[in-house]
């Protein structure tokens, strides 16, 4: 099933902000698709934009982590893994909460 989303803000005088589902298609090889037009089709979080912002600094981050691992070795491994897990969980939690409760 493929859902094609088109971002369209509802008119200010519209009584409802519900989107429109249209163009239902089913091909012979059992692939279905549908087109949705409405506010829910707008991108709330763009992962590519976040990655593009972080990308220039990945080299510096990896050099710092590598330097710490070189000089601290196994003593630092537990703290490094803990910090990475904490960072990942915090980011996922923040993105989930921000997409659910914060307005654009």
- Residues 51 and 95 reside in one and the same domain: yes
Summarize pLDDT for 27-59 with one digit per residue, the tens: 777 788 888 888 777 777 777 777 888 899 999
What is the predicted pLDDT for the residue at 104?
Answer: 54
Summarize pLDDT for 68-81 with one digit per residue, the tens: 888 877 787 888 88
pLDDT band at 102 (very low <50, low <70, confident <90, very high): low
- Residues 93 and 64 reside in one and the same domain: yes
- Residues 31 and 63 reside in one and the same domain: no
Buried b (16+ CB within 10 A) or exposed e, 11-47: eeeeeeeebeeeeeeeeeeeeeeebbbbeebeeeeee
Summarize pLDDT for 1-27 with one digit per residue, the tens: 787 888 877 666 655 567 777 767 777
What is the predicted pLDDT for the residue at 9?
Answer: 75
Instruction: Indicate the SS3 state at residue 6.
Output: strand
pLDDT band at 97 (very low <50, low <70, confident <90, very high): confident
- Residues 96 and 68 reside in one and the same domain: yes
Write out the residue range of the structural domain in which residue 14 sits: 2-41
pTM score of the predicted model: 0.40
What is the predicted pLDDT for the residue at 17?
Answer: 61
- Residues 72 and 37 reside in one and the same domain: no
Number of separate domains in the chain: 2
């Amino acid at each position: 099933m493929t859902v094609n989303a088109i971002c369209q803000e509802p008119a200010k005088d519209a009584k409802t902000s519900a989107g429109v589902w249209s163009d239902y298609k089913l091909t012979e090889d059992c692939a279905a698709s549908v087109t949705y037009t409405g506010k829910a089709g707008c991108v709330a979080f763009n992962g590519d934009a976040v990655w593009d912002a972080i990308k220039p600094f990945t080299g510096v981050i990896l050099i710092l982590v590598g330097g710490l691992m070189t000089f601290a070795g196994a003593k630092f491994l537990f703290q490094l893994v803990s910090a990475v897990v904490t960072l990942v969980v915090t980011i996922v939690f923040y993105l989930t909460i921000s997409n659910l409760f914060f307005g654009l």
